[in-house]
């Protein structure tokens, strides 16, 4: 399993835990259109959980450009390998 695949598995756990609407299967192309409970209220909790797990802080630009799981994964790869 490569690093990105592992991150998606971790994200899957975070999303399932916060959204609490049954099993979630994320893939790089997943957007909020694919997951009912991924709304603005849960979004901030998801970002906070990611910041805590990977011990980094999102920048404003990163938050602004987030569109799908691939964007999120790329930020995590970049931040944790810096």
Partner 1 sequence: MMESFIDYTLAYIKEQNPIHYKKALKNIKELKKDDFFERATTFLDKYDQLLENNGKTRKYAIDCYLKLLADYTHEGLIFRETGKYSSTSFDEVNKRVYANPEIMQYYMHGLLVSQFLWKHHYVLLKYYIENLAHYVTAKSYLEIGGGHGLYVNEALNAFSEDTTFDVVDISESSINMAKHFVNNEKVNFIHTDVFDFHPKNKYDFITMGEVLEHVEDPVKLLLKVKDLLKPSGTLFLTTPTNAPAIDHLYLFRNYPDILAVLQKAGFCIENEIKVYAEDVSEEMAEEFKITMMFGGFLIKKL
Residue closer to partner 1, measured from CB, 2 or 57: 57
8 A C-beta contact, residue 1 and residue 20: no
**Chain position carrying tokens 């691939």:** 70
DSSP readout, 19-49? H-SS-----TT--TTT-TT-SHHHHHHHHHH
Least distance to partner 1, CB of residue 79, Å: 14
Binding mask 26-65 vs partner 1 (x if CB under 8 A, - otherwise)? -----xxx----xxxx-xxx-xx--x-----xxxx--xx-
Residues that bind partner 1 (CB under 8 A): 31-33, 38-41, 43-45, 47-48, 51, 57-60, 63-64, 66-67
């Amino acid at each position: 399993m490569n690093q990105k695949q592992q991150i998606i598995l971790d994200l899957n756990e975070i999303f399932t835990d916060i959204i609490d609407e049954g099993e979630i299967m994320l893939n790089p192309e997943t957007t909020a259109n694919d997951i009912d409970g991924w709304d603005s209220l849960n979004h901030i909790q998801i970002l906070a959980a990611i910041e805590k797990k990977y011990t980094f802080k999102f920048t404003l630009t990163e938050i602004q450009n987030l569109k799908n799981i691939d964007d999120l994964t790329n930020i995590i790869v970049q931040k944790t390998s810096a």
